Amino acid sequence: MSNETQDSSADEGLRLSILGMSCAGCVGAVESAIADVDGVDFVSVNFADHTALVKGDVDPDLLRKSVQDAGYDAAVMEGLEDPSEQEAQELERYQRLMQKAKVAAIFGIPLMSFSHLGWLPEISSPAGSWFWPIVALITLGILRYSGGHFFSSAVKLLMHGQANMDTLIALGTGSAWLYSCVVIDFSSHLTQFAPHAYFEASVIILAFINFGSALETRARGRTSSAIRELIGLQPRTARVVRDGVDQDIAIEEVGLAEIVRVRPGEKIAVDGVLIEGHSSVDESMLTGEPIPIEKVEGSEVVAGTMNQKGSFLFKATRIGRDTALAQIIKSVRTAQGSKPAIAKLADKISSVFVPVVVCISLFTFCIWYLFGPDPSMGYAFVTSMTVLVIACPCALGLATPISVMVSVGRAAKMGILIRNGDALQSAGRITCLILDKTGTVTEGKPTVSAIEAVGKHDDESILRLAASIESGSEHPLAAAILAAAEEKKIKLEKSTGFEAIAGHGIAATISEQQVLFGNEALMAEKGVKYTQHLDRIESLSALGQTAMMLAVDGEVAGIIAVSDPIKKDSAKAVQLLRQQGIRVIMVTGDNEITANAIAMQAGITEIRAQVLPEDKAAVAKQLQLAGEIVGMVGDGINDAPALAQANVGFAIGTGTDVAIESADIVILQGSLLKVPEAMSLSKQTVKNIKQNLLGAFFYNTIGIPVAAGLFFPVFGILLSPMVAGAAMAMSSLTVVSNASRLRWVKLN
């Protein structure tokens, strides 16, 4: 089976909450346990949020049993569950760890302080003969209370031939206690060196480690704020109209095609289509755009968005896990749990880290015992224990997933849906970006851009005749003309003898007048003289507009131009991309004149015109073969192959479902400005991960030699086990804090 980053378009899989993981080494142990279950095709464990994604035909009970056998526990996550229960569990864990830290500190700090001040009796003195055994018993009780979970986990893992951070902590604190007991029991036989007990070290280490784990738990909980906020968007009830009566019911009971009423200030419960009334809806949490969207009959409404002033009825079209909000939550969770390629190195290192550290600790003990100064046994013990404590790989395990979680969460709040970890890593490396034209650079909604009357006719009469004749047409441009007439409140006239001439235009009779509306080919076919208007038609075409002539009784009466305007922010987006050194290419099926006109408006200097849908993917592949890292932005079905071919596919969220499913990143609102933002976030995330990994590697690379006493012969530096415990706890906290910066880091 493969543990590669999952394809987001694959089957949904099963999400498990894993209990008992304490370091990166646990990830490998849990993944191995799950992978051994029959039917598992894929497994990915996320240390940051303690979850596992499992794909395949497998019994959840078998998965849970296998995880339990490995020394952990697991529970199936439903995906849309109320986050309050999980938050309560995290809070309970935080409070429990803080309590354990307090108990260890309350005893350990005075013991350490009094020991350094010389206020405690010597071990070999009469007072010490009864004092230190009592300390040993109290310390044992604290080890049981504050560190019992480390020891039990270490034993379970040992039974399965595995080791993790708990193993190091158990070995370090346990050996400190045992060694101290040997010292007080055999102090009379250890005259070759000054006997010293390390009871305070064992409990202080536990205090620091529990405190660090508590802070890490709290910080880790905050990284999932995006998920909690998204889930919190969904109201718990909906007001449905049944038999003419309004009823408040749980959203789980809302059925397809049910009529739902929404009043001012209420959240929309499920997805649907507005059938009565009008209002404006705040969709900012889903799109990142603060301006409310006007909703009229026929408009789509989305679960979780907030109704403003108006009241309306809508028909439910998607419910439960099929709503757009549910799909977004699923995608965010999947992305947060995915592993970018950069995480594989950390996973490999973590899998062998603990055994290597144990070997280093034993080697350190032997070197100090054989070659160290008196008391060699004391030095050997202290250094080997310090190595065990300081080498905890927690920071290494958190380095990547915590950054991914924060970044994906921030992107979701911005209206950018990142669907897998590889896309998050690769987006910032793009060197060439392919842009589709219609619906990506342009609005995708043709509008009338120019009306020019000829002779005795005026603009209104030209538009009235054109709209009247187009009222029977299904051509895309007809909608633009009819919309313009409706906006001007022009009353249409009845047409007869309607004839649609494919590729040319339309002919009909209106008020006993023979009316033609179409291109030059139509005019030529019907014998209408039009050559004197060609210059104007060509000039309009050069501006990216489609110009059509209207003829009445064999004479040209006017020209109407229809255009698909570029989005208001397309030019700015292209400018930002070019400033980042990105090569921008517009690829379209339109003719070269129109393509050049649109490209000029958007600031695009490189185009590929008259490209067939099936050839868009070939363009992307050609660029990849030339050494480019290609991104593709599109919104239509014809863009799906190119989106899949590109290194990173960006789908405009207002586009088709096929395009969205083929993409790695979805721009929910449809603004091109989100593309450079996503690329900038990718760069910042990868930079943050590298900082975390570098810090973790540096910590362990420097910390272990220092703990082993490498600098002692030259500088006299010897690290205390208690300092090592504090440093270990702070290393994890530092990684989490650094990852949290991604919430506020400036983009672009």
Q: Which residues are catalytic?
A: 436
Rounded to whole angstroms, what are the CA distances from 95 to 209, 218, 727?
14, 10, 22
Radius of gyration of the chain (CA): 35
Neighbours of 654 (CB within 10 A): 17
Structure-derived torsion over alpha carbons of residues 710, 713, 715, 716, reported in degrees to the nearest 10: 100
Those residues whose C-beta lies under 8 Å from the C-beta of residue 320, and which sit 6 or more positions away, are: 80, 252, 270, 326
Tokens of 658: 């096929």
Instruction: Report whether the peptide linkage leading into residue 375 is cis, meaning its omega lies within 30 degrees of zero.
Output: yes
CA 103 centroid distance within chain: 39
237: its two tokens: 């009830």
CA 184 to chain centroid:
55
CA 86 to CA 348: how far, in whole Å? 30
3-class state of residue 174 by DSSP: helix
608 DSSP β-pair partners:
587
Do residues 673 and 571 touch, judged by C-beta distance below 8 A? Answer: no
* Size of the chain, expressed as the number of residues it contains: 748
Element spanning 664, H or E: none
Cα distances from 240 to residues 162, 308, 314, in angstroms, run 55, 19, 10
The DSSP output letter for 437 is: I
The number of angstroms, rounded, from the C-alpha of 400 to the middle of its chain's C-alpha atoms is 13
Give CA–CA dist 363/384, Å, rounded: 8
Instruction: Report whether 589 contacts 612 (CB < 8 A).
Output: yes
Q: Which two tokens stand for residue 492?
A: 């249409």
- H or E segment at 75? strand 73-77
* Residue 265, H or E segment: none
Contacts 24+ apart (CB under 8 A), 373-381: 374/192, 374/193, 375/192, 375/193, 375/194, 376/193, 377/190, 377/193, 378/193, 378/194, 378/195, 378/196, 379/709, 379/718, 381/175, 381/179, 381/198
| CA 84/CA 75 separation, integer angstroms | 16
Structure tokens at 543: 């501006």
CA distance linking residue 709 with residue 645, whole number of Å:
54
Task: Give the three-state DSSP class for 132.
Answer: helix
Structure tokens at 10: 């694959």
What is the Cβ-side half-sphere exposure of residue 240, based on CA atoms within 13 angstroms? 20
User: In 325-359, which positions are buried (b, 16+ CB within 10 angstroms) versus exposed (e)?
Assistant: bbbbbbbbbbbbbbbbebbeebbebbbebbeebbe
